[in-house]
Structure 1
Amino acid sequence: MGRHTRMRGAVVAAALLPALAGCSGTAGSGAPDGKPSGAASSPPADAKPAGGEVLPGMVGVAVARTQLAGLKVAPAGTMAGYSRDKFTHWVQQGNKCDTREVILKRDGTDVKQDAECRAVSGTWKSLYDGVVVTDAAKMDIDHMVPLAEGWRSGAAGWDAARRKAFANDLTHPQLLAVTAASNRSKGDQSPDLWQPPDKASWCLYGRAWTTVKSTYGLTVTEPEKNMLTTMLDTCAS
């Protein structure tokens, strides 16, 4: 799973959401340059979710179930050798904006930025807890699949370029803005250990988590897979 609060975890983004997050030697399939399969070589800094979704690169529940069935089930790996510094973030995306500021802009409403691309006003609705925030400082950017969780499920075997792509992915549903409180509550936990308190978000959360793991060829544990199935079962048919 899935943060830029200057405390812990991973940071993410979602249209009309808020936040940053407190976030196997088997590497997923990807191009030689470290990009995940299907990822744009240079995602547009203003990448927008499609079709009313709050996150980019989302798939329907039927596709998510197929993705989940295709994930390799394996025990969680160790944290040996892990460091957040091995996942370079937040990188510059142009116009003085780094990945965090791009997500705050993307996921907020009426966001105004200063000359340094810092969000100075706007409104964000946090996916995880449904809280509405008007102060960007109270938002974290969460990594849907936290950096540490990625490490335990395959990223330990990646090269630096692939880890950088994973930590700054604007094309897939890996980053979203959420409240700092919800992001820090999540930490680096997988869905079997932490679920968004707002159960209305479970369908989206399960689809997003599954899509990111499928995109990067990461593994899942049996309890994790079971909870993802439960989350997908909350989706309207």
Structure 2
Amino acid sequence: MPTTRAVRNSLTILASAAVLSATVVGVAGATPPGIPSAATAKSDLAGLTVKADGSLDGYSRDKFPHWIDQGNSCNTREVVLKRDGTNVKTGSDCAPTSGSWFSPYDGATWTAASDVDIDHVVPLADAWRTGASAWTTAQRQAYANDLTDPQLIAVTDNVNQQKGDKSPDQWKPPLTSYWCTYAEMWVAVKAKFDLTVNTAEKSALTDMLGRC
């Protein structure tokens, strides 16, 4: 027969495991859809066209109409805030009134939506330099509001601003533990939209996927 202490210890271990499981599920639920496995990302990376980035001539964020209406009074930003947040409550206009957001780039948690940016994993300017300059406005709008691929994610606003339009050879998430997932998302978007990568970018992505 187990002692009372042994039973108590077993219950503590089980409870801790349940909490850990719930935490992992919660974090996983806050990630964008369509993140490929490392093996798929490596295969997709090998298939991307490698060439020098094009010019930013003619680029404007206005050429990528974003935060468009997604129905139910919600725009794209608000949809992602609800998707990536925890216990998010919204007003009749769909703007969040409460909730919390965990930023996987830096590990910070925020309780005000104003502290959170919606990052385009592959930035609009990078897309322009690597193929989107030849797209129609409708194609660029679809790219900038893509909710079916791992292209949009809620993160700490100043971290997103530090990233700017940099590719992975120039900027990586502060948390090295997220580098694998970030590279998987980046490659998935480039592959989906047939965007090119430059040599330094491909090398950085290869190294990041090597951490998976």
User: Normalising to structure 1: TM-score of the pair?
Assistant: 0.77
Q: Is the Cα–Cα contact under 8 Å of residues 90 and 98 in structure 1 kept in the other structure?
A: yes
CA distance in 2, matches of 1:135, 1:197: 21
Check whether the contact 2:67–2:145 (CA below 8 A) recurs between aligned residues.
yes
Q: Does 2:111 correspond to 1:134?
A: yes
Secondary structure of 2:97's counterpart equals strand
Relative distance call for 1:185 and 1:16 in structure 2 (3 A) is: farther
Match of 1:204 in 2: 181
The verdict on how the C-alpha distance between 1:52 and 1:60 changes in structure 2, with shifts beyond 3 A counting, is: farther
SS in structure 1 of the partner of residue 98 of structure 2: strand
Residue of structure 1 in register with 2:199 after alignment: 222
Q: 1:112 aligns with which of 70, 89, 94?
A: 89
2:105 is the alignment partner of 1:101: no
**Residue 55 of structure 1, CA deviation:** 1.6
Give distance in 2, aligned partners of 1:53 and 1:208: 14
Q: What's the CA shift string for 1:27-78, capped at 9, x where partnerless?
A: xxxxxxxxxxxxxxxxxxxxxxxx8672201110000001000000000111
Relative to total residues, which structure has the larger helix share, 1 or 2? 2
Give the TM-score normalised by structure 2: 0.86
SS at match of 1:195: coil
Q: Is 1:192–1:227's contact at 8 Å kept on the other side of the alignment?
A: yes
Q: Deviations for 1:178-221, whole angstroms, at most 9, x for unmatched residues?
A: 00011001000000000101001101100000000000000000
Structure 1 residues 178, 53: closer, same or farther in 2, change over 3 A?
A: closer
Q: 1:74 aligns with which of 48, 51, 65?
A: 51
Amino acid at match of 2:189: V
What 5-or-longer segments of structure 2 have no aligned partner? 1-24
**Candidates 129, 137, 151, aligned match of 1:152:** 129
Partner Cα separation in structure 2 for residue 118 and residue 56 of structure 1 = 22
Compare CA radii of gyration and give the structure with the larger one.
2
Structure 2 CA distance, aligned partners of 1:190 and 1:234? 18
Runs of 4+ in 1 over 4 A off after TM superposition: none
Structure 1 residues 178, 231: CA separation in 2 closer, same or farther (over 3 Å shift)? same
Check the 8 A contact 2:30/2:85 in 1, yes or no: no
Q: Percent identity?
A: 53
Q: Deviations over 1:109-168 (max 9, x none)?
A: 000000100011101110110101111110000000000000000000001111011000
Q: State the match for 1:173 in structure 2.
A: 150
User: Is 1:60 matched with 2:28?
Assistant: no
C-alpha distance in 1 between matches for 2:98 and 2:165: 29
Residue 149 of structure 1 aligns to which amino acid in structure 2? D
Q: Is the 8 A contact 1:82 1:148 kept in 2?
A: yes
Match of 2:68 among 78, 88, 91: 91
How many residues get paired?
188
- Name the residue aligned to 2:8: none
* Contact 1:16/1:108, CA 8 A, preserved across alignment: no
Rounded Cα–Cα distance in structure 2 between residues aligned with 1:127 and 1:164? 26
